[in-house]
Amino acid sequence: MPVSQFPGDRNWGYDGVFPYATQNSYGGPQGLQRLVNACHKIGLAVILDVVYNHLGPEGNYLRDFGYYFTDRYCTPWGEALNFDGPHSDEVRRFFLENAEFWVSQLHIDALRVDAVHAILDHSPLLFLEELAATVHKVAEQTKRDIFAIAESHLNDARLISAPEKGGYGFDAVWNDDFHHSLRVLLTGDRQGYYEDFGKIEQLAKAFQQGFIYSGEYSPFWKRRRGTPSNHLPSYRFVVFSQNHDQIGNRMLGERLSKLVSFDKLKLAAACVLLSPSIPLLFMGEEYGETAPFYYFISHSEPGLVEAVRKGRQAEFASFKWQGTPPDPQSESIFLEVKLNHSLRSQGNHKVLLEFHKALFQIRNDLPPINILDKDNIEVQFNEQKQIVFMRQWNNKNKVLLIFNFSNQEKTIPIPFYEGNWKKVLDSADKKWCGGGSTMPEEVIVNQNSNLSLTVCPTSLAVYRK
């Protein structure tokens, strides 16, 4: 999450006011550099969240030095940055050089650009296009892999299309549609923007194509939303079942581990880690961390603190949540969000961690899954029985994934190809604290087979040919 300097000691990072300064209470630039170096030594890349759609409300003095802001637009968080008005060339340069600073001076490996839909710009050459080009130029000059990843709720395929095809040139985009679809199937929550989701067909489309809303009418937005994405590679999409926004912007900051059963946690993990897209895990998700993740601040101006409190209350209105949100200014709620790493070695938490490891092993070892190729994937579904089948192939290797979102056993024809199939993983196995598998260890399919199997409730099975 963002580390640009903000007032106070604790913050999500989206109230930064000095884009080039690294938060002093986190260790400053030297601390960040040590962290990046340590990660690189053991083969880990570091992705940094950057905010180019607004600056924070406290300690924001850039307006005293130039035409950084404009009253032609507004954002949900305050004044919009001036990327297309008079004197905007210098403003754009300031932020483009900031992106260059992170990747060239501190050796950050990728930038996740916050809420690009709130970067308001009608220039012939968009700031976002220049931003992606700047990152890639440093990559070319330094002979490193450096990526630009966008967060956007617009479902605009241009973000991740090549510049020569009229795109902005970003390498990937967060796919909120995948999260929303999966979340509703697991929890049944249909409030707020979740009202647009709830069909098995939608998750199947996310697996196969990327965006779910690709021009269809959205009841929540009350307009058509999105553009087609089926022509874009699956590795352009980042998928997840949890992230800081989707947890922290709930009134009580509950993780999935507090909202669904253990079987559903395993099913969620399998959907994310075995999807043909790039998986993202939220901290502690891999072992079912139970600590909440609240929104927290440490502003010094009482009026601003009260405004944030009222804003949080208003933000939850569309979800019809009752009660009073935890006080974001309170240090105690900040302390509550800290992880309890000891859970990793206890009970179901330990089993869930081992289950994640098994999923990663499958993702690494089975070529049809780790190739991330939309051309070699077929997704089928049964809406009534709440089941998704995903078939993937590469040369002679074939894999079949069976996801059952129903709370009941379902007997259903299984779309195996001809040949001998072996079960690789079944989340219903007692090994994974399931109720016991009903799926055979081996399946032989011939030309005349009409094979139906009984699939356990809220479970995932993987077969390999």
User: Which amino acids are annotated catalytic?
Assistant: 114, 151
- CA torsion 136-140-145-146 (nearest 10°) is -30
How open is the CA angle 461-194-293, to the nearest 5 degrees?
A: 80
Kindly state the tokens that stand for 332.
């105690």
User: Which H or E run contains 360?
Assistant: helix 347-365
- Give the β-pairing of 278-279 and 419-426: unpaired
Closest CA to 126 of 83, 175, 156: 83
Provide the β-strand partners of residue 110: 47, 147
Kindly state the tokens that stand for 173.
């985009």
- Give the β-pairing of 147-150 and 172-174: parallel
- Give the β-pairing of 4-5 and 18-22: antiparallel
CA atoms of 366 and 293, how far apart (whole Å)? 34
How open is the CA angle 455-457-461, to the nearest 5 degrees?
A: 50
Closest CA to 231 of 161, 289, 313: 161
Instruction: Show Cβ contacts of residue 51 under 8 Å, excluding neighbours closer than 6 positions.
Output: 2, 4, 13, 14, 16, 19, 114
The one-letter amino acid code at 168 reads Y
**Pair 104, 98: CB distance under 8 Å:** no
Closest CA to 159 of 213, 227, 230: 227
Axis-axis angle for helices 262-273, 176-187 (nearest 10): 160
**Pair 203, 271: CB distance under 8 Å:** yes
